[in-house]
Chain A
Amino acid sequence: ESGYAQNGDLEDAEPDDYSFSCYSQLEVNGPQHTLTCAFDDPDVNSTNLDFEICKNLVGVECLHLSKLQDRYFLRTKKFLLVGDSKICVKLGDKKITCKNINIVEIVKPEAPFDVKVMYHEEAKEFVVTFNTSHSQKSYLTIKDLIHDVAYRQEKDEDNWMHKNLSNTKLTLLQRKLQPDAMYEIKVRSIPTDYFKGFWSEWSPSYHFRTSESKGEWMD
C-alpha cells in the first residue's frame, strides 16, 4: 500500500518514492514546446498528485501539467529556456518533492525519418541518408545534434554496428559488408553542446540487400 491515505495522512507503510524524471521537446508544434514527466516508480499511487513547473517562464509564475495515463504533460510557448525552472509534485497545495531543472538540459529530440540507402556501383559503396525535423527549427537545430546510425545483418539478431555522425549522410563501403545479405538500418539523435538530454526514439528501419557481385568483400 502506498504511503499516503486518501485523506493525505501518512501511514506506517513504507513511504512511496515520488522521485520523477522529465524530458522536454522544443518547437514540437510550431513555436510550442512540450514537457513530459513521470514517476520513476510505475507502481506509485499517483491519485490526487499533480505536477507544476515554476520560474523562468514568460508572463506567468507557474504552469500546471495535465495528467495523461501514467504521465504528466504540458504544451507551452512560455519556456524562457535560460536558467533553471522548479518542477514539483504536489498533493493539493502541498509540495511533496521538487527538482531544479533547466529545460534545455533535458531535451529529447524528435526521431529522424526518411532513412534511405543508395548503392553506388562505381564507388562500390552504399550511401545512407536520412532527414530530421530539426533542420527547420530555431533552437535545437541540426548543428546541435549527434546521430547514431545502427545497422545489422538481419539474421544477426543482436549484432548491431554503430556509427556516430553530426550530419545526415553516411557512406558504408561494400567491402565492409557481407555479400548477398539483407541488412537493417535505423537512426536516432541526441542533443550536443549547449543543449543536453536524451536519445530520441529510433527512426523507422530501412532494409536493403547487398549485391552478390564478386570483387573484394569482407571475409
Chain B
Amino acid sequence: MVLTYNFTNCDFTKIKEDYEKLIVGDFQTYINGTKSTQSSNYIFCSNQSDCLAKIESLTFGTHAGCGSLSKEMFACRTKATFAHRCPDYPRVKVNNTQAMKKRKKREDTAKECLKHVLRLQGLWRRFTRAP
C-alpha cells in the first residue's frame, strides 16, 4: 500500500506564490522546448489538498510512453515547494541531487509527456482557484 502524503496542512498561499512566480515559468520553458503540439483532457480536483495530491502523483509517477517527469525543472521545483511549505513532507521524497535531465526526447515520447504536462498545468491552475 503506497502511503500518500496528506497535503491538508500545507501553506497554500506560499505554494500558490511559488507556482505563479517560478513553476509557471518552468512549464512555459518546457512547452516551448517541445516542438510538438498536443491537446489533453484535464483532471478534476475538488480542493487545494486534493489538487496537490494529484499534482504530486502526476509529477513524480511514471507514465506509459513518457516515463518520468521527475527530473524536469518544474518537478524539481514542485518537490522543493512541497518540502518547504508542507510540514513533515517526507524527506525520502526530497532528493534534489537528482541531476536535471538533458531533454533529448524522441518525438512520440515528447508528445506523450506533453499530454501529462498539460494536465499538470490544468491541475495547478485549478489549485490556484480552488476553495
Which of B1-9, B16-24, B55-63 sits within the interface? B16-24
B73 in contact with A194 (CB, 8 Å): no
The answer on a CB contact under 8 Å between B100 and A58 is: yes
Q: Which chain A residues numbered 124 to 183 have a C-beta less than 8 Å away from chain B?
A: 137-139, 144
Measured CB to CB, the closest approach of chain A to B14, in angstroms, equals: 9
The interface on chain A, measured as residues whose beta carbon lies within 8 A of the other chain's beta carbons, has a size of 20
Which of A77, A82, A83, A194 has the most chain B CB atoms inside 10 A of its CB? Answer: A82
In Å, the complex CA distance between A138 and B32 comes to 12
Q: Does B39 contact A (CB under 8 A)?
A: no
Given contacts A56-B96, A58-B73, A139-B21, 10 further A-B contacts (CB under 8 A): A59-B96, A81-B77, A82-B18, A82-B77, A83-B84, A104-B22, A137-B25, A138-B25, A139-B25, A194-B17
**A80 and B77 in contact (CB under 8 A), knowing A56-B96, A58-B100, A59-B98?**
yes
Which residues of chain B from 47 to 97 have a CB within 8 Å of any chain A CB?
A: 73, 76-77, 80-81, 83-84, 96-97
Q: How far is the CA of A104 from the CA of B116 in the complex (A)?
A: 29
> When the two chains form their complex, are residues A83 and B99 in contact, meaning their CB atoms are under 8 A apart?
no
Give the interface SS of chain B, mostly helix, strand, loop or mixed. Answer: helix
5 A-B residue pairs with CB within 8 Å: A80-B96, A81-B77, A82-B81, A139-B22, A194-B20
| Contact present for A59 and B99 (CB under 8 Å) | yes
> Complex formed: what's the CA distance from A82 to B20 in Å?
13
Is A199 an interface residue, CB under 8 A from the partner? no
B97 touches A60 (CB 8 A): yes
- Report A's interface with B, CB cutoff 8 A: 31, 56-61, 77-78, 80-83, 104, 137-139, 144, 194-195
CA distance A187 to B38 in the complex (A): 43
CB distance from A61 to the nearest CB of B (A): 6
**Residues in chain B near residue A81, CB distance under 8 A:** 22, 77
Chain A CB within 8 A of B109 CB: no
Closest chain-A Cβ to B30's Cβ sits at a distance in Å of 11
Q: A31-B29, A58-B73, A138-B29 are in contact. Are A82 and B96 (CB under 8 A)?
A: no
